[in-house]
Amino acid sequence: MMHGFAPRSIFSLEDVDRKLKEAKHVFPTVQQFTPPDSSSEDGSSPEAEYFPEYPSEEVRPLDQCIAIFEKGPRPASASLALLNDEEIIQLANSGKIAPHALEKILGMDALDRAVRIRRALISRASSTHTLESSSIPYETYDYSRVLGACCENVVGYIPIPLGVAGPLKVDGVSYPIPMATAEGTLVASTSRGCKALNAGGGVTTVLTADGMTRGPAIDFPSIVQAGQAKAWIDSEDGFATLRAAFESTSRFAKLKSLKAALAGRTLYVRFTTTTGDAMGMNMISKGTEKALDALQKRFPEMVVLALSGNYCTDKKPAAINWIEGRGKSVVAEAVIPGHVVRTVLKTTVADLRNLNIKKNLIGSAMAGSIGGFNAHAANILTAIFLATGQDPAQNVESSMCMTLMEPTNGGEDLLMCVNMPCIEVGTVGGGTVLAPQQGVLDMLGVKGAHPSQPGKNAQTLARIIASAVMAGELSLLSALAAGHLIKAHMAHNRSQVNTPASSVPPTPGPHSNPVLAQLARQKGNRSPFSPLTPLTPSMSQSSLSKLRN
């Protein structure tokens, strides 16, 4: 008789399911379940009877799922790999797994599965039960770039149409203008502006400042101590001490200035720093914390109320940003030839100048606007922000813009400028780590950090944005001056599927307006406002006098 090792048992999926069902009767509760010994006399592995290599197609009872999860192979992701999606949903609903931690517990090689299971959990707990089978996409996406960086509790992603306006020549280089938007006419209109600007030689830009800000709020026991702290911060010794502490946190963070202001016993300090090619909020927050530690060593009784005391100011309209700047401050200029204004933009230099003054400058002043002296800078800036992975909430201050227009070259041509003091952008970190957004930055030649000049890529992106805003401003103002805006939107910005019948009221005429109707009767049913009759300032006065008579 020959002696040797017995062959290893091989089980089919049916055998595994059968033995797990048998195990349920032997071990009816989790407390009774104990994994078998790791070895046996014949050399086989009894664990295979209880921990199958592949998940079952059937949904096993909760107690079995708990047993496999808690007593199965380690790490936990190996045990969960033995369970199907519905069984993991059972574990989550029983409180054994936190839905927000699915990626962590399932493992980096099962990120799509984590998103799929979370969709089911949220869908079945909601009143509509639609998410699980909705058209919100979730597959074929690199969630490893999202995890721990961009979003939590992920259930998918939202595709936004990406268009390209231009190209537009900026400082002698031609760039496509990427715009992620759902607003029809926006890309087409910006392209028209690019065409007009290119005809005059393109756009010239100047970067006037570069500095991200953070403004903590600090309490002191008395205004005397708060005043002493302000005086020390304003001194050369104070600035040098805080700068050394600040810059010890990063090789890219360079503290440029400190601006301190008192409100009672509370001191606000606005840190301004360059941050390389990053937008820089995390970098400057880390440096500010370190500087405040140094400040507290000199003023131990101070209390830091908040790292951000709204003196920054981030994601809110603020005069301090408009005046002092935040992020990249850019001024752009272009000359548009008069014949291009007439043939491409279908208006005149004089009409554009007049409209810009009355709308963008006086109208915005009447509204008490802060930094809103423009037609629609936020439209273009936000579309580029979404396309390039910027923080869309920072469009609040980043889209602050003043548009200026005046005749030049003896009144023949149009000189146009835009002033944008708060463009907050980066080419590393945040949403720029996502692959599609990196692809857009790569198309512009500004992906990642600049290899030899830290900050240059982010500055170039800011220059492109300001120039694109100019193109959008020029086209929209021209459409308004020529009366083409509504026609363009009706042609390009209407969904044929979802748009109901037009509810726009008809243009008022003699039969729809009692005043016009009375005037028409006096004129023998001929409207005094014929298209052939030029509108003059005196017309309203003469109309009123006729009504009085």
Return the structure tokens found at 364: 């915005």
Cα–Cα distances (Å) from 308 to 119, 204, 282, 289, in that order, read: 35, 35, 12, 10
Cα–Cα distances (Å) from 242 to 50, 220, 363, in that order, read: 62, 18, 44
Largest CA distance in the chain: 132
At 56 the pLDDT is 79
At 57 the pLDDT is 85
Helix (H, G, I), strand (E, B) or coil at 355: helix
- DSSP states of 507-543 as a string? PP-TTT-HHHHHHHHHTTS--TT-TTS---TTHHHHH
- The 8-class DSSP code of residue 454 comes to T
- CA dist 340 and 200 (Å) reads 8
At 332 the pLDDT is 98
Count other Cβ atoms within 10 Å, centred on residue 543: 16
- The 8-class DSSP code of residue 409 comes to T
Q: Which of 342, 480, 335, 465 is nearest to 404 (CA)?
A: 335
At 55 the pLDDT is 79
- The 8-class DSSP code of residue 100 comes to G
Helix (H, G, I), strand (E, B) or coil at 37: coil
The rounded Cα 356 to chain-centroid distance in angstroms is: 29
- 426 close to 394: Cβ distance less than 8 angstroms: no
Lookup result for tokens 């070895």: 39
Instruction: Identify the helix (H) or strand (E) that includes residue 305.
Output: strand 303-306
Q: Beta partners for 329?
A: 209
Lookup result for tokens 């880390």: 286
Instruction: Tell how strand 327-336 and strand 204-214 pair up.
Output: antiparallel
Q: Tens place of pLDDT for every residue, the chain, 549 residues?
A: 444 444 444 555 566 566 555 554 444 443 344 555 545 445 445 454 556 667 778 999 999 999 999 999 999 999 999 999 999 999 999 999 999 999 999 999 999 999 999 999 999 999 999 999 999 999 999 999 999 999 999 999 999 999 999 999 999 999 999 999 999 999 999 999 999 999 999 999 999 999 999 999 999 999 999 999 999 999 999 999 999 999 999 999 999 999 999 999 999 999 999 999 999 999 999 999 999 999 999 999 999 999 999 999 999 999 999 999 999 999 999 999 999 999 999 999 999 999 999 999 999 999 999 999 999 999 999 999 999 999 999 999 999 999 999 999 999 999 999 999 999 999 999 999 999 999 999 999 999 999 999 999 999 999 999 999 999 999 999 999 998 666 665 666 665 555 544 444 444 444 445 554 555 555 555 444 444 444 444 444 444 444 444
Q: Is the peptide bond before 288 cis (omega within 30 degrees of 0)?
A: no
At 507 the pLDDT is 45
Count other Cβ atoms within 10 Å, centred on residue 26: 8
- CA dist 84 and 59 (Å) reads 7
Cα–Cα distances (Å) from 396 to 322, 423, 460, in that order, read: 11, 10, 21
Instruction: Give catalytic status of residue 183 as yes or no.
Output: yes
- 118 close to 99: Cβ distance less than 8 angstroms: yes
At 112 the pLDDT is 97
Residue 210 identity (one-letter amino acid): D
Of 259, 359, 489, 492, which is the active-site residue?
489
- CA dist 87 and 79 (Å) reads 12
- 91 close to 117: Cβ distance less than 8 angstroms: no
Of 315, 359, 456, 492, which is the active-site residue?
315
Instruction: Tell how strand 266-274 and strand 303-306 pair up.
Output: unpaired
- The 8-class DSSP code of residue 428 comes to B
At 51 the pLDDT is 63
Q: Which of 468, 494, 458 is nearest to 376 (CA)?
A: 468
Q: Which of 465, 458, 145, 467 is nearest to 280 (CA)?
A: 458
Phi and psi angles of residue 254, each rounded to the nearest 5 degrees, phi first = -125, 110
- 494 close to 184: Cβ distance less than 8 angstroms: yes
Tell me, letter by letter, the H, E, C secondary structure of 173-218. Answer: EEEEEEEECCCCCHHHHHHHHHHHHHHCCCEEEEEEEEEEEECCEE
Phi and psi angles of residue 239, each rounded to the nearest 5 degrees, phi first = -65, -40
In sequence order, the 6+-apart residues with CB closer than 8 A to the CB of 251 are none
Dihedral (CA of 188, 194, 196, 199) sign: negative
- CA dist 529 and 537 (Å) reads 13
Of 47, 70, 171, 183, which is the active-site residue?
183
Of 15, 112, 391, 406, which is the active-site residue?
391
Instruction: Give catalytic status of residue 391 as yes or no.
Output: yes
- pTM, to two decimals: 0.81
